[in-house]
Each structure stands twice: as structure tokens, then as C-alpha cells.
Amino acid sequence: LGQAAQQGFLLQNIHLVARWLGTLEKMVEQHSLGSHADYRVFMSAEPAPSPEAHIGLLENAIKITSEPPTGMYANLHKALDLFTQDTLEMCSKEIEFKSILFALCYFHAAVAERRKFGAQGWNRPYPFNNSDLTISINVLYNYLEANPKVPWDDLRYLFGEIMYGGHITDDWDRRLCRTYLSEYIHEEMLKGEVSLAPGFLVPPNLDYKGYHAYIDDSLPPESPYLYGLHPNAEIGFLTVTSDRLFRTVLEMQPKESDAGGGAGVSREEKAILDEIIERLPEPFSLAEIMAKAVDKTPYVVVAFQECERMNTLTHEIRRSLTELDLGLKGELTITSDMEELANALFYDSVPEPWMRHAYPSLLSLGAWYADLLLRIRELEVWTTDFVLPATVWLGGFFNPQSFLTAIMQSVARKNQWPLDKMCLSVEVTKKNREDVTAPPREGSYVHGLFMEGARWDVPAGVIADARLKELTPMMPVIFIRAIPVDRMDTKNVYECPVYKTRMRGPTYVWTFNLKTKEKPAKWVLAAVALLLQI
């Protein structure tokens, strides 16, 4: 460092020498005294793992942050900047190499920028980075040089399952990655007939500067269409961002508390507490329910399990609110758990202890509690005589999978078919909930599903492009029945994932095969899914 100080320059990766930082700080301070007027110390740093791990050197420094590019235009230029004219000329199959390289740059930019759309972009966030692209180009060069013909399938597998797919842990995200590559990289691209986005074709054979110029001149304006998504995806993303901002602002506001309330609890929370307890129904009598059920069918078992879980949830709600009420009256000492519960009531959010016993939900407390009372009402009606409702609210279950499995079990017992050789057949009807007056002879009608990323064209009976600003249109009643696997129709269908909430990912329920006149790949890129709650 002394020699560096005399020369007036130092480049140091401080994340590599964390233990030496104290010594470094003293040395920098020592050598800065009486140093040359142009003496500067340059450092690169990564974000600290925790606030306690702050670095004194950086607190006193002028900081320049290197932000990742945003938007397809910046991401595509940056991806291309990883290479040079020499890179473009290094392969003997120059035309094939250049076309695939540009398509991979676009693919890299698309998968990186798609993260901004949240769960509609990727079910889980992944750390895609520049080395994924540079290593993929090295693999591309090696494979083109080693094979007389372009091994399209091998290349797509290597890029989609290993280079980029190595980061991916969700099966639906893996399908998305594969679909991007199957749409971008195939033999027709050499004829200039492949569109990377609407109005943006794979470029002709150009030099390095020509490719940058092609991006400047031909890339359409920034929109979700560039990633295969519908413009509604951006509306949804911006809405979620705005909600988070306003919630943060709300949580920063001081709470007005009673002078004698203690623990910063206001009259408002007391009123909410009283209202919730007053409207909370009594728990289900599980003994009575089992006594009424003479025949223990799969549906009866599902109903019983749902009542059990509902009792657990309502017991926790009643226990925690009663405890908080006693604390507010001064009969119990206010604990940290009580304070957190009071804060949740104040900010209209579902308390964490309740969520542990509940089902995934993104609703605010008021909407969540109204939804809970509806669920309890549905169970009360169902367990009165155990007659399957004319149409079942699939989203009203703690465990929707158990009801869908019960449909298969009922048909399997009736026809003496093996359960592992069966699957669910999904038929979207043209009826609304009010139009259905009786359950089907076999299977079940279900309602309360919403489509995100597209809409259901009722007259045509197929998936269609979403209408602008209709983010999650409601589906008609769906008829679900069990059939042998070999009778499943797999032509002109899109394998549509069903999730409990917009969070997707861990809330996956089932896969419904929905009819489509367009290529299923379109709906894969558009992240089309069915949701049980919005």
C-alpha cells in the first residue's frame, strides 16, 4: 500500500479482504496526510450482508453505483457489448454463429428483464448473469465447429437445461425457458423468418457495429410485448409497486393512541377487535359431523378435514383477540405478540399467527375476514346433509388438491379403475354460477377461478388475448371429471397451471388442459395461469 500511495492509485476488491479492512482504513488515513494533490484511492465493493457489516471507508467516500440496465433496449445493447467484431468472425459457420449469437443476446436480455414483472415474469427470482451468456457462446462455437450440421436440439438443451436452466428450480419456469429457446433458436432463423418480438426479426448477416445499429433502428418501443407478455402484465406490476409504496408510507405514520391505552393501541384497533370477535361463528362440532356422515365417501373426508382446519384457524383468532382484549383492559401484561397483533389490526393486514394456520392469501384484513366468513358458510351448508353443492367454490378450500383428488377417487371406486392410471378432464362450460342448479352425475362443477395473462372466449370455447385493463377476468363454471389417462385429449391444448394466489410459485394446485386455437407457446410466454383468489 505504501508503494501504491506514493504512486497515488489503488484498486482493491474489499469484499475479498473483509478482515483486513480495519488495517486498510488506518493505512489510507496515514498515507493521505501530506500526499500528492492527485492522490486517490479507488475501491470496488459489494452490498454488505447486514447493516452491522458497514464499512467506515465507504462512509467517507464518494460513491458511484453501477446499476443494472433497465428495459430491453439497454439490456440488449449491454448483452452485445460482451462481445467484439473478432467474436463474430471466429467461427467457420459464420452466418449460423452470428444469427444464434444475436438470438441468445435477445434471450438473455428477455430473461433478465422479465424479473421486473414479478410472479408473472418468473415464479421465483433467478440470478441470471453475464457469464451465462458468454459461456453459452463458447459452447455454441465449440458445437458448431465440431459438427457438420447445426445441432439445434442439442444447443437448445444445453442453453435451456444447463447454462440458464441450472439456475431454475421451478418446473413451470423451466418450461418457460425452454419455450423461449424453441421460439428464438431454430433452423428457420437462417432464412430471416424468425421474429424475436412483434415487428423485430432476427437481423441479417451484419458486422458488430451493424448489429448495434440494427437494435437502434428496428427494436420496437419498450413494452411487455417484447417479452411475450400482455400489456396488462405491466399494469399489474405497477399496481403492486404502488401498493407497496403506499403501505410503506402508511407504516411510517405515527399512530394516535389513547392517553391511557398503553402500548400505542388506538380506539380503532379496539373497534376492529370487537367486530371480528362478534362476527366469528362458533367452531364446527366434529363429532356431530362424523355422526351425520353414514357413508364415508372421499367428499365427506374432504369436508371433515376442511372443518378441522377451519376450527384450528378460528380457535387461534379467538384466542389471540381475547388475549389482546384482556391486555387492553389491563388484566394482562401487553406482550410483543399482542403489540404485533394490534399493529396488524391497525394497518389492515392479516396477523402472522393467523396466516400460519390459514391458506395463502394476499388480501387485506377486511377482505380476508369477509372471505373467511364466506368459506365457513360454504362448509356449514355442505356439512348439513353432505350433498355435493350444484357448483363447488374451489378457492374456498384450505386444500383444493384434496377435493380434486376426491373426484378421481370417487370415479375410481365406482368403476374399479386404478387411481394412478387416471387424470382430470377439464371442460369449460358457457354457464355462470347462477345458471347451474344441480350437480353432475359424475365429477363436479367448480366456480370462482380467474384467468391471468389472457381471457376465456366463451362463444369460441378457447383461450384468447386479454382485453386491456381486464387483469384477471372470471372464468365460467368448469366441469371437472376423472377419466383414464389414455383418453386424455392432448391436441390443441395449453397445459395451464392453477395457483391459489397471484404469488404463484409455492401456491401451485393442479394443471388444467384448456383448449386453444393458437400455439401453446404463446400462452407459455404470456404466463397464462388460473388463480383461485385475486
DSSP characters over 272-288: HHHHHHHHPPPPP-HHH
Cα–Cα distance between 504 and 520 in angstroms, integer? 20
pLDDT at 1: 46
Confidence at residue 228, expressed as pLDDT on a 0 to 100 scale: 93
Report which of 176, 212, 217, 178 is spatially closest to residue 200, judged by C-alpha positions.
217
End-to-end CA, the chain: 59
Name, in order, each residue with C-beta under 8 angstroms of 521's C-beta and a sequence gap of 6 or more: 179, 182, 183
Q: Which three cell numbers stand for residue 198?
A: 412483434
b/e for 304-337, b at 16 or more Cβ within 10 A? bebbebbbebbebbeebbebbbebbeeeeebeee
Look at residue 49 in the predicted model and tell me its pLDDT: 63
- Which residue in 388, 377, 380 sits closest to 295, CA to CA? 388
Residues contacting 448, CB < 8 A, separation 6+: 393, 394, 395, 396, 433, 532
Among residues 317, 439, 306, which one has the least CA distance to residue 375?
Answer: 306
CATH class in words for 388-533: alpha beta
Instruction: Quickly list DSSP for 132-179.
Output: HHHHHHHHHHHHHHH-SS--HHHHHHIIIIIITGGG---HHHHHHHHH
Please tell me the distance from the alpha carbon of residue 524 to that of residue 493, in angstroms, as a whole number: 12
- What are the φ/ψ torsions at residue 151 (nearest 5 degrees)? -85, 80
Architecture per CATH, 72-232: Orthogonal Bundle (1.10)
Number of neighbouring beta carbons within 10 Å of residue 72: 26
pLDDT tens sequence for the chain (534 residues) = 444 444 444 444 545 566 677 777 788 788 778 888 888 888 777 666 666 655 667 777 887 777 777 889 999 999 999 999 999 999 899 899 999 999 999 999 999 999 989 899 999 999 899 999 999 999 999 999 999 999 999 999 999 999 999 999 999 999 999 999 999 998 888 887 788 999 999 998 899 999 999 999 999 999 999 999 999 998 888 888 898 888 888 878 776 654 344 445 566 778 888 889 899 999 998 888 888 877 888 899 999 999 999 999 999 999 999 998 888 888 888 888 888 888 888 888 899 999 999 999 999 999 999 999 999 999 998 888 888 889 999 999 999 999 999 999 988 888 888 888 888 999 999 999 998 888 898 889 999 999 999 999 999 999 999 999 999 999 999 999 998 888 888 889 999 999 999 999 899 999 999 999 999 999 999 999 999 998
Residue spans of the domains in the chain: they are 9-60, 72-232, 266-387, 388-533
Task: Say which residues have a Cβ less than 8 Å from residue 460's Cβ, sequence separation at least 6.
Answer: 517
C-alpha cell at 441: 352425475
By CB atoms closer than 10 A (0-12, 13-18, 19+), residue 38 is exposed
CA distance 328 to 257: 12
HEC string for 173-241: HHHHHHHHHHHHCCHHHHHCCCEEECCEECCCCCCHHHHHHHHHHHCCCCCHHHHCCCCHHHHHHHHHH
pLDDT at 11: 46
What CATH class does 266-387 carry? Answer: mainly alpha
Q: Compute the distance between CA of residue 397 and CA of residue 376 in angstroms, rounded to an integer.
A: 10
User: What are the phi and psi torsion angles at 12 (to 5°)?
Assistant: -140, 130
pLDDT at 513: 93
Centroid of chain to Cα 73: 24
Distance from C-alpha of 70 to C-alpha of 82, rounded to nearest angstrom: 17
Q: Give the separation between CA 110 and CA 327, rounded to whole angstroms.
A: 53
State the Rg of the chain over Cα.
Answer: 30
What residues form DSSP beta bridges with 43? Answer: 12
Distance CA 467, CA 457 (A): 11
Strands (DSSP E) along 7-102, which ranges?
11-13, 42-44
Same fold, 72-232 and 388-533: no
* Cα distance between residue 522 and residue 379, in whole Å: 39
d(CA 348, CA 402): 31
Task: Please report the pLDDT score of residue 47 as a whole number.
Answer: 66
